[in-house]
Amino acid sequence: MTPETTRATRTAGVAYAGAAYLLWGVLPLYFLLLAPTGPWEVVAWRVLLSFVFCLLLLTVTRGWAAFRAILRQPRLLGWTALAGLLIYVNWQVFLIGTLSDNVIETSLGYFINPITTVLLGVFVLKERIRRLQWAAIAIAAIAVVVIIVAYRAFPWIALSLTASFGIYGLIKKKIGPAVDAVSGLTLESFWLIPIAVAQLIVVSMTPAGITMGANGGVHALLLAFAGVATAVPLLLFAAGTRRINLTVIGMIQFITPVMQFLIGAVVLKEPMPPERWAGFILVWIAIAVFLVDLLLAGRRGRRIAATELV
């Protein structure tokens, strides 16, 4: 592979990953446009329409052969079922947070997520981490304590989001290239269909009822777009991670929580008292330490590689 090809591949990877995180960053605004649809109905349609969209993608991309190969492996099916449950929890908590004026807390969850990923690597994969990574973890833990004690609110939305997405990422890493992005999302959505149907039945029995088609054509189209809004960022993310290393991904991923924080604080005018600022500032310090560690590790890696080439 020529240097020009490598550079073009990296540029494409950054573009794909950046687009994914930008789309995830604006998702709160999209979901707010779906009012009066509640979080339980939105997630139900998100599951069902993602499944339909993925079936179309499998057909267009001729991915059915790879999909059938996965169906013949019970172990992979089990992992996709568990991944489906975790992404369901993530989607549901995110929607509850977004539609209950807690967009800032959802951003906190995704700010903490890289540090959660490191912790999972230590305790689950038995990985060894560097001193600066331990420092980032300690600072982030202090930040959570400050929010709980000073702000007098347990950040269950943030912690649920970071835990569910962190473990989801761990499972995706475990099954690796054996399950491609489209097949994986198709199966994850498939396992969730009974939950989605049950939620729609329960919602239909509430006073508000099912909102799909009951609030005009524009609202119905926006709600029908939920499948595309779910699948496209995940597919862009998968395309990006195949082209660039995790250090770059680690830095790009902060686009999403920064955008969500700005949407919550500036656009939606959610409260940010001093105690909450203190917690967030500590989290941002932890992230700065984490990014410095990533940059130093990347520099050391390039130096070692250059020495081996000499």
pLDDT at position 101, please?
A: 92
Residues 130-156 as b/e (b if ≥16 CB within 10 A, e otherwise) read eebbebbbebbeebbebbeeebeeebe
**Distance between CA 253 and CA 251 in Å, rounded?**
6
- Of the candidates 117, 142, 144, the residue with the CA atom closest to the CA atom of residue 253: 117
Burial class (CB in 10 A: 0-12, 13-18, 19+), 71: exposed
- Of the candidates 174, 144, 118, 42, the residue with the CA atom closest to the CA atom of residue 291: 118
Task: Work out the widest C-alpha separation in the chain, in whole angstroms.
Answer: 73
Contact 254, 121 (CB under 8 A): no
CA distances from 302 to 174, 206, 228, 297, 305 (A): 26, 59, 39, 9, 5
pLDDT at position 246, please?
A: 61
- Of the candidates 165, 186, 184, the residue with the CA atom closest to the CA atom of residue 176: 184
**Distance between CA 194 and CA 197 in Å, rounded?**
5
Q: What is the pTM of this model?
A: 0.87
List helix spans (H) across 176-273: 181-191, 193-204, 217-224, 226-241, 246-252, 255-262
So where are the chain's domains? Answer: 3-309
**In a 3-state reduction of DSSP, which class is residue 75?**
helix
Torsion angle (degrees, nearest 10) of CA 110, 112, 113, 119: -170
Alpha carbon 277 to its chain centroid, in Å, reads: 24
pLDDT at position 169, please?
A: 82
- Of the candidates 173, 190, 175, 192, the residue with the CA atom closest to the CA atom of residue 58: 190
Q: Which residues contact 48 (CB under 8 A, 6 or more apart)?
A: 189, 193, 196, 197, 227
310 residues of the chain, pLDDT tens digit each:
555 557 788 888 889 889 999 999 999 999 999 999 999 999 999 999 999 999 999 999 999 999 999 999 999 999 999 999 999 999 999 999 999 999 999 999 998 888 887 788 788 877 787 888 889 889 988 988 888 887 788 899 999 999 998 898 888 878 877 888 889 989 999 999 999 999 999 999 999 899 998 899 999 999 999 989 988 998 888 788 777 766 677 678 888 999 999 999 999 999 999 988 999 999 999 989 988 887 887 777 677 766 665 5
- Of the candidates 169, 146, 153, 98, the residue with the CA atom closest to the CA atom of residue 284: 146
